[in-house]
Structure 1
């Protein structure tokens, strides 16, 4: 929550103060030109690197490999594009860090190292209510497991069956019967 507060409240104030300070040093129109130039250069880098990342991901998928690192890099390129289009020097610095290949590969490797890939499989809900089926793990549909409500399913895989009772109240009331 604090990170969001910093991003949406403090960062714009710091960006405006920095833009005004740079405008005092090099002039207002030069500052505007610098911001526009950084947006165009950033858009070029994001487009070029996005195409390269997409081609690498497609090549991995053709070899039946999971393009996990490329997915992280693609997400970083989306964030880089947003940051580079946003006027300001601080967002441009972070945008270029995410767009340039050397720093992006390093950051993507760090993010991938700390991120766990999870696959959602029907009937694999854990006792805590979350899905706990991890990639590479074997799933036996006939083993006993807890459903999200904490009840045992008795060794059956009846995840599509909903049990319950009902009473038809329209049988006794002639006004509510369907005609």
Structure 2
């Protein structure tokens, strides 16, 4: 209670979603998960930059992108976590924030540009930096200062469901 979840929890949740999809194919859309650690890389120019940055996108390939419907990217802005979804079929970005604030989305162009430069350009159809970005509204939001990880997990799970999402039904988590 009143405690933050950490990267290990969200990584475990991703593994659980992937395992559930393996055990029961068709329960979820195929997806690629990009670890939140990817966005905690050292500044460009430091000795660790290339290693740390490439390490968290090494599982992304042209084949994995073509086989997936979504890429789920965890984004941290200071201590608040949000979810940036790359809809690979619609060629669009969708942003989910459990504490809606323009400051939280201010880092998104940098995140998208970083993903673009750290993966091979031909993995994606077109320039992902130019894909439209929508900010999702009328979604469940947190009422405290520590549940953002739980909301990110629930957003991930609901987004990859094979049926259309009716967020109105999801408003009271």
TM bucket (normalised to shorter chain) is under 0.3
TM-score by length of 1: 0.23
Q: Which has the higher contact order (CA 8 A, sep 6+)?
A: 2
More helix by share: 1
Greater gyration radius: 1
TM-score by length of 2: 0.24
